[in-house]
Amino acid sequence: MQGFVGFMWLLSMALILFSGFALIDAAIRREDAYRAADKQSKAFWLIILGLAFVVNLIFNILSFLPIIGLIATIVYMVDVRPAIKGLPGGGRSRRGSSSDGPYGPYNGGR
């Protein structure tokens, strides 16, 4: 019985880490990348993944709610994340220099 409890604890920790990673990944992506990939908004995914993370922290893995959170996390990781990463720049927010134009950095005609 102790082995089963240990396995369930490891499974619960893996689920928390998985949903936490998805939440952080969704937070670092640009808002316009979600629209460009024709997915739900960034706020939508942050709310869904945040709820999944909190549910995984609070409830036992054998409950019904963590399974719903796992499904939402898998949908983000399998569908939304690859679509956003496939965009130019990978969908990550970046800080451009003041000389960056709409087509890249301006090099003074060189």
**pLDDT at residue 18 in the model:** 96
Task: Work out the percent of the chain whose per-residue pLDDT is above 90.
Answer: 56
Residue 30 in contact with residue 91, Cβ under 8 Å? yes
User: CA dist 96 to 2, 89, 92, 105, Å?
Assistant: 54, 12, 12, 8
Q: What is the pLDDT of residue 88?
A: 80
Given a cut of 70, whether residue 61 has pLDDT beyond it is: yes
Q: Quick: pLDDT tens for 9-50.
A: 999 999 999 999 999 999 999 998 898 888 899 999 999 999
pLDDT range class, residue 109, cuts 50, 70, 90: low
